[in-house]
């Protein structure tokens, strides 16, 4: 056999093997070599900035973990700018063969919890692992106790090279986040997203979109959907401040999304919905003629069944959104979709903290409703 023929056979063998090996095994051949060494406990610490943080819509931010670009300062209202400093939706995927995984993170605020939301959701970390069936499964949580935290997320894992997903705080900012593994182990960057599945789902919304009040940072519906649909996610939820403002919609139009999801009704009333919806859609459509846009009604307050004022709020704001949607469709706007609010939570009133903000059960139900709307849209894109 000639050397040339042998080389061809080798290449063919590698290609055949690549069809059967897990993607994380073949994606990265060289482990990350930039890390800090802790000689005391024999741990190598990796700055996640070097691993490819997902959920950042812009790179030109004032600080690394901000959600809006620095040019937005002084353009968006101060509360929006302040909330953009929270790391909601930011996450990092990585691969390691470590049997122990540690984490260190420094928060920007000492207020690690709220009176209706656990510290693990406000300021914690949340670790998932990809299983043999190529599904993400929860593994460990990083519980914060102060501004600077250092914890062992998980130990005594069965030895194997696996891909992991670490979610950052929802209602706090971070100055730094590091992943620690034993010095005898290795860490690789995660494989790149598959072509056709690398554009993010971009959510613009309220405190609910930001994650209030998930018990863990990976339990907000946007994160659940990212795992289920195998897409990166950009979370532009601003607590109490998802107000359909033109200056924000113009910034969002800069993003190259797979779908734009507009979910602001919990923070606005019917007059604002009537005034701003068409402008938002037209702004996005001008920049992205073919990108799907999903308009979302407000979730139903869990106690609205006994409150006329809440029922009227839902009726009027939803009517305004429906009328704007129909007007846009009648004018020829394509790839515009609609999700009704009644399906977002259950009818048993058991899935919110305070009648408004979902618990984990509420977010799970919301994810189910959003998935029914988004999956056909994404399937149509891939055809």
In a domain, 4, yes or no: no
For the residues 343-355, what does the mean pLDDT come to? 97
Same domain, 51 and 167: yes
pTM: 0.92
Q: What is the pLDDT of residues 280-314, one digit of tens each?
A: 999 999 999 999 999 999 999 999 999 999 999 99
* Residue whose structure tokens are 């839902």: 314
What is the CATH classification number for the domain harbouring 94? Answer: 2.60.120.260
Same domain, 160 and 282: no
Candidates 167, 151, 186; CA nearest to 25 is 186
For the residues 360-376, what does the mean pLDDT come to? 98
- Among 189, 210, 228, where does a domain finish? 189
Same domain, 289 and 240: yes
Same domain, 179 and 213: no
In a domain, 375, yes or no: yes
Same domain, 260 and 162: no
Going from the C-alpha of 281 to that of each of 275, 278, 334, the distances in angstroms are 12, 5, 11
Q: What is the distance between the alpha carbons of residues 205 and 339, in angstroms, rounded to a whole number? A: 14
Candidates 300, 367, 365, 353; CA nearest to 117 is 353
Going from the C-alpha of 239 to that of each of 4, 5, 81, 172, the distances in angstroms are 63, 63, 11, 12
C-alpha 307: how far from its chain's center? 33
Q: CA torsion sign, 343 to 255 to 54 to 75?
A: negative
Same domain, 236 and 377: yes
Same domain, 228 and 269: yes
Same domain, 259 and 180: no
In a domain, 21, yes or no: no
DSSP letters, 338-375, are: EE-GGGSS-SSS-SBSSSSSB-HHHHHHHHHHHHHHHH
- Among 189, 210, 245, where does a domain finish? 189
Q: What is the pLDDT of residues 224-278, one digit of tens each?
A: 999 999 999 999 999 999 999 999 999 999 999 999 999 999 999 999 999 999 9
Domain count of the fold of the chain: 2
Query: Token pair of 160, please?
Result: 């194997």
Residue 5 has pLDDT above 70, yes or no: no
Query: Token pair of 4, please?
Result: 């040339």
Same domain, 267 and 349: yes
Buried residues in 126-163 as b, exposed as e (16+ CB within 10 A): bbbbbeeeeebeebbbbbbeebebebebbeebeeeebb
Question: Looking at residue 29, what is its pLDDT?
Answer: 81
Question: Looking at residue 28, what is its pLDDT?
Answer: 63
Residue 18 has pLDDT above 80, yes or no: no
In a domain, 149, yes or no: yes
What is the CATH classification number for the domain harbouring 373? Answer: 3.40.50.1110
Question: Looking at residue 241, what is its pLDDT?
Answer: 98
Q: What is the distance between the alpha carbons of residues 245 and 209, in angstroms, rounded to a whole number? A: 16
- Domain span at 310: 201-382
Q: What is the distance between the alpha carbons of residues 176 and 198, in angstroms, rounded to a whole number? A: 25
Residue 11 has pLDDT above 80, yes or no: no
Cα dihedral value 356, 358, 363, 367, nearest 10? 0
Same domain, 50 and 177: yes
Q: What is the distance between the alpha carbons of residues 333 and 296, in angstroms, rounded to a whole number? A: 17
- Among 160, 189, 218, where does a domain finish? 189
């Amino acid at each position: 056999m000639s050397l040339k023929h042998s080389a061809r056979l080798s290449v063919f063998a590698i290609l055949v093997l690549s069809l059967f090996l897990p993607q994380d095994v073949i994606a990265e051949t060289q482990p990350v070599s930039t890390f800090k060494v802790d000689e005391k406990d024999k741990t190598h610490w990796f700055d996640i900035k070097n691993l490819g943080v997902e959920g950042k819509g812009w790179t030109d931010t004032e600080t690394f973990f901000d959600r809006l670009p620095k040019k937005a300062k002084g353009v968006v209202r101060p509360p929006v700018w302040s909330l953009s400093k929270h790391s909601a939706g930011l996450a990092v995927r990585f691969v390691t063969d470590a049997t122990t995984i540690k984490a260190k993170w420094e928060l920007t605020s000492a207020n690690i919890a709220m009176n209706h939301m656990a510290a693990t959701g406000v300021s914690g970390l949340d670790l998932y692992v990809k299983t043999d069936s190529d599904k993400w499964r929860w593994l460990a949580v990083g519980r914060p106790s102060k501004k600077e935290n250092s914890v062992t997320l998980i130990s005594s894992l069965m030895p194997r090279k696996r891909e992991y997903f670490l979610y950052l705080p929802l209602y706090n900012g971070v100055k730094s986040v590091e992943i620690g593994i034993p010095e005898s182990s290795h860490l690789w960057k995660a494989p790149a997203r598959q072509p056709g599945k690398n554009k993010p789902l971009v959510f613009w919304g309220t405190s609910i979109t930001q994650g209030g009040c998930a018990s863990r940072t990976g339990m907000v519906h946007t994160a659940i959907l990212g795992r289920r649909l195998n897409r990166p996610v950009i979370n532009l939820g601003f607590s109490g401040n998802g107000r359909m403002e033109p200056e924000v919609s113009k910034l969002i139009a800069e993003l190259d999304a797979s779908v734009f999801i507009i979910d602001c009704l919990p923070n606005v009333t019917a007059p604002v919905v009537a005034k701003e919806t068409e402008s938002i859609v037209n702004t996005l459509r001008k920049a992205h003629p073919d990108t799907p846009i999903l308009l979302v009604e407000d979730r139903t307050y869990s106690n609205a069944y006994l409150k006329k004022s809440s029922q009227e709020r839902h009726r009027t704001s939803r009517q305004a959104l429906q009328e704007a949607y129909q007007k846009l469709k009648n004018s020829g706007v394509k790839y515009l979709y609609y999700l009704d609010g009644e399906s977002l939570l259950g009818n048993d009133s058991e899935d919110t903290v305070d009648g408004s903000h979902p618990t984990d059960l509420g977010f799970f139900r919301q994810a189910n409703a959003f998935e029914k709307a988004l999956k056909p849209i994404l399937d149509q894109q891939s055809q």
